[in-house]
Amino acid sequence: MTQHAPLGIAVVGTGKMGADHVRRINDVISGARVTAVVDVDAERVKAIAAGIEGCTAYTDPAAAMAADDVDAVLIASPGFAHEAALLAAFTHDLPVLCEKPLTPDAASALRVLEAEQKLGHRRVQVGFMRRYDAEYLKLKALLDSGELGRPLMVHNRHRNASVPPGYMNANLINDSVVHEMDVTRWLLGQEITAVTVLRPRPSSNAPEGLDDPQFVVFETDGGAIVDVEINVNCGFGYQVQAEAVCERGSARIGEAHDLLVNTAGRWGGSIAQDFVERFVDAYDREVQAWVDATRRGEVTGPSAWDGYAAAAVCEAGVRSQNEGGRVEVELIERPAFYR
């Protein structure tokens, strides 16, 4: 790739998230193009490639990564397939934007950390897109400024209108609350040391076998307490809200009151219906930042360490769900490579 040539990207996984990234790279951001699409569904991936000039369809990620026109990889396949795809990318020393999770568990995430460190330089950015959301960026800047003093508590609400069949208790932690885990670590600059999961009486909206909603509490090594209401069958839309309570004030994001309408004796606005709609701008900023950094020969954003830390906190959260009570997070000492 020459300095001014578009970055050739292989998108691995073309489900809802991967297909949206293909659209984003082709139609929204600059400096890149999709040169390969990979999926186990051969017919689907052929159809996607047929609509993109100069794009080749693959069913094997390793084959796509060996292609001459692939300069970087965006992994959007299911989490269980991430480790193999990441290690294949390392074989070719390719920069990677990997959608969360880095891998499904802490042990496999550690293997990825070890493999990346053997390369001698970072190659992975993990797709925790909330770090690129305009409101979260404002909250982060405010907390970092020290204007409100030390953060003492953070209250979070994470609500989905509904979830697909097969979504179970562990998904509440691994697929949903994982975002609060990462954003807590990022906003506060602190590691999460313990997790407690509490369960109120399940909503009548929850499908059989799912204890929804739940209330999750994090403790951090900086002495902060963070809570998360996770409520994935609320019925009315998708909401993500956060309030940081500090020594000299508080700050809240996620109200989304950018347009209020008064009509027919009522007032109100609209509520996003899914995460793609709510965080579309954050995804655009995330992928553009990754492309820009890659073209500069840099890797920025959430690291493989952040992916591993989230996996370790998830494991503590699932244990608390299953066993009850407070569970401490088992985390290795952070390697100098990721400091």
pTM more than 0.75: yes
Q: SS3 for 118?
A: helix
Angle at alpha carbon of residue 135, lines to 196 and 224, rounded to 5°: 30
Alpha helices per DSSP H over 16-77: 16-27, 42-50, 61-65
Give the position of tokens 């602190």: 190
Alpha helices per DSSP H over the chain: 16-27, 42-50, 61-65, 82-91, 106-119, 134-145, 169-171, 178-188, 275-278, 280-295, 304-323
Question: What secondary structure letter does DSSP report for 272?
Answer: -
Q: Within its chain, how far is the Cα of 249 from the centroid?
A: 29
The two three-digit tokens of residue 127, written as one number:
């797709």
Query: How far, in Å, CA of 197 to CA of 313, rounded?
Result: 12
What strands lie across the sheet with 72-75, from one edge to the other? 56-58, 32-38, 7-12, 72-75, 96-99, 124-127
Helix (H) or strand (E) segment spanning residue 243:
strand 239-246
Residue count (the chain):
339
CATH of domain 7-130+281-303: 3.40.50.720
CATH of domain 131-278+310-338: 3.30.360.10
Q: Measured between alpha carbons, how far is residue 231 from residues 36, 89, 156, 279 in Å?
A: 37, 36, 11, 18
CB 190 within 8 A of CB 331: no
A 10 A CB-CB count for 155 gives 16
Domain boundaries, the chain: 7-130+281-303, 131-278+310-338
Which mean pLDDT values do the consecutive 10-residue runs of the chain (339 residues) have?
Answer: 79 95 96 98 96 97 97 97 98 97 97 98 97 95 96 97 93 96 98 97 94 98 98 92 95 75 68 74 97 96 98 98 97 96
Mind giving me the DSSP string for 81-110? Answer: GHHHHHHHHHHTT--EEEESPSSSSHHHHH
Q: Measured between alpha carbons, how far is residue 332 from residues 107, 286, 312 in Å?
A: 11, 28, 9
Assign residue 295 a region (left: φ > 0; alpha: ψ between -120 and 50; beta: otherwise).
alpha
- 218: amino acid identity, one letter: F
The 10s digit of each residue's pLDDT in 73-98 is 999 999 999 999 999 999 999 999 99
What pLDDT shows up at residue 2? 45
Query: How far, in Å, CA of 252 to CA of 243, rounded?
Result: 4
Helix (H) or strand (E) segment spanning residue 214:
strand 214-220
